[in-house]
């Protein structure tokens, strides 16, 4: 827990239900949620926490399965206020962790910058994109990163260059229990001024191939080397397979959708069933891309 601090300006919510804060629309309660007033307020709150306080940082709640028993400790909700973004130079952009990735894509194109268009297809915040090296349409977040601000629970802010991290497909090492507070992205000038057109094409492709009109987390499984999780799942005859209110999407096999009334347990059981069937039929053990957190109901 944190010591009482009258100078904090954020909001504390007790036993806040998390289903409305994630894209699958499932999950239990946060024991405690803190909604910071801004980045500085969040830094002050984090620095005052005990080092052994369980902390989970929540953005847009995509790529996330929160179990029905909820999350113990403190959930810090960054998406409401921690979202400053501005140009530092002709090719550098400062972005706080709560800014939606899609907003970064639009901001960059509006300012004549190229390279961030793929972020329009990532349904989360920059904090989450940094944490997992999120990607879409062949682009990856850390290909743009020049530097980051990080902060551990109960600790102090640390500035780090991108070459201090070991980054690979959907993985960033050397992060430990740190929150990414902000990043500086390095881009190039768009001489053709066609960024908005590229984003429209990418989003049209996404709408055509993904179940964007149903609650999901995005891609559930990582693509194996030289293959695609969706192909393996479809080849195993699992499109449309359901457990409770959770269903393997008929539109894209690497998506699990909440058809209405699904529980986190339904979704997790379906994830495990898909893994088991693909391993049995295709000889491939699928690894989850989605982050599964919280406690199961007993």
Taking CA 186 as the corner, what is the angle to CA 58 and CA 155, rounded to the nearest 5 degrees?
40
Per-chain mean pLDDT for the chain: 93
Q: Which residues pair with 221 in a beta bridge?
A: 288
Other C-beta atoms closer than 10 Å to the C-beta of 46 total 26
* pLDDT for the residue 282: 98
Tell me the mean pLDDT in the region 171-177: 82
* CB 265, CB 288: distance < 8 Å: no
* Residue 193 in this model has a pLDDT that exceeds 80: no
> In this structure, what token pair is assigned to residue 2?
């944190």
Considering only 47-61, 163-177, 209-223, 265-279, which range has the smallest mean pLDDT? 163-177
Q: Residue 29 — very low, low, confident or very high, per pLDDT cuts 50/70/90?
A: very high
* pLDDT for the residue 3: 44
Read out DSSP for 111-166? TTEES-GGGGG--SBHHHHHHHT-EETTEEGGGTEEEEEEEETTS--EEEEGGGS-
Cα separation, 187 vs 178, whole angstroms:
25
Taking CA 295 as the corner, what is the angle to CA 291 and CA 298, rounded to the nearest 5 degrees?
140
Going from the C-alpha of 19 to that of each of 16, 44, 160, 215, 269, the distances in angstroms are 9, 27, 34, 11, 18
Relative to beta strand 135-136, strand 139-140 is: antiparallel
* Residue 167 in this model has a pLDDT that exceeds 50: yes
Residue whose C-alpha is closest to residue 297's, from 54, 20, 66, 31: 66
Relative to beta strand 64-66, strand 291-293 is: parallel
Cα separation, 71 vs 88, whole angstroms:
37
* CB 220, CB 253: distance < 8 Å: no
* CB 90, CB 68: distance < 8 Å: no
Cα separation, 290 vs 35, whole angstroms:
24
Q: Which residues are catalytic?
A: 170, 219, 289
Cα separation, 23 vs 64, whole angstroms:
8
* pLDDT for the residue 2: 53
* pLDDT for the residue 279: 98
Q: Residue 176 — very low, low, confident or very high, per pLDDT cuts 50/70/90?
A: confident
Residue whose C-alpha is closest to residue 190's, from 105, 64, 253: 105
Q: Classify 74 as helix, strand or coil.
A: strand
Tell me the mean pLDDT in the region 66-81: 94
Residue whose C-alpha is closest to residue 263's, from 25, 64, 31, 20: 25
Domains in the chain, start-ordered, CATH in brackets?
11-77 (3.30.43.10), 85-196 (3.30.465.10), 211-293 (3.90.78.10)
Tell me the mean pLDDT in the region 223-245: 97
φ/ψ region of 244 (left if φ > 0, alpha if ψ in -120 to 50, else beta) reads left
* Residue 258 in this model has a pLDDT that exceeds 50: yes
Tell me the mean pLDDT in the region 37-50: 92
* Residue 287 in this model has a pLDDT that exceeds 90: yes
* pLDDT for the residue 288: 96
Taking CA 138 as the corner, what is the angle to CA 177 and CA 170, rounded to the nearest 5 degrees?
20
* Residue 203 in this model has a pLDDT that exceeds 90: no
* pLDDT for the residue 190: 84
* Residue 250 in this model has a pLDDT that exceeds 50: yes
* pLDDT for the residue 24: 98
Tell me the mean pLDDT in the region 13-21: 97
Tell me the mean pLDDT in the region 126-137: 91
* CB 31, CB 51: distance < 8 Å: no
């Amino acid at each position: 827990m944190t010591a009482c601090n009258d100078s904090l300006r954020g909001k504390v919510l007790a036993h806040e239900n998390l289903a409305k804060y994630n894209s699958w629309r499932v999950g239990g309660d946060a024991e405690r949620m803190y909604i910071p007033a801004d980045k500085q307020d969040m830094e002050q709150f984090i620095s005052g926490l005990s080092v052994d306080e369980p902390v989970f940082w929540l953005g847009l709640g995509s790529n996330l399965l929160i179990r029905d028993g909820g999350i113990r400790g403190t959930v810090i909700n960054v998406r409401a206020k921690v979202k400053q973004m501005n140009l530092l130079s002709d090719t550098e952009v400062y972005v706080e962790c709560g800014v939606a990735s899609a907003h970064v894509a639009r901001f960059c194109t509006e300012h004549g910058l190229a390279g961030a268009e793929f972020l329009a297809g990532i349904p989360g915040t920059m904090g989450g994109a940094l944490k997992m090296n999120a990607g879409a349409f062949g682009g990856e977040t850390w290909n743009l990163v020049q530097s980051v601000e990080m902060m551990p629970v109960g600790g102090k802010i640390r500035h780090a260059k991108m070459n201090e991290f070991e980054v690979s497909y959907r993985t960033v090492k050397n992060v430990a229990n740190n929150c990414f507070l902000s990043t500086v992205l390095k881009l190039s000038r768009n001489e053709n001024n066609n960024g908005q057109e590229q984003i429209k094409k990418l989003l049209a492709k996404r709408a055509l191939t993904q179940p964007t009109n149903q609650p999901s987390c995005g891609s559930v499984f990582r693509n194996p080397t030289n293959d695609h999780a969706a192909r393996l799942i479809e080849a195993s005859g699992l499109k449309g397979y359901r457990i409770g209110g959770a269903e393997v999407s008929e539109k894209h096999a690497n998506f699990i959708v909440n058809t209405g009334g699904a529980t986190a347990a339904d979704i997790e059981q379906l994830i495990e069933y898909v893994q088991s069937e693909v391993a049995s039929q295709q000889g491939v053990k699928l690894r989850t891309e989605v982050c599964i957190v919280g406690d199961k109901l007993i």
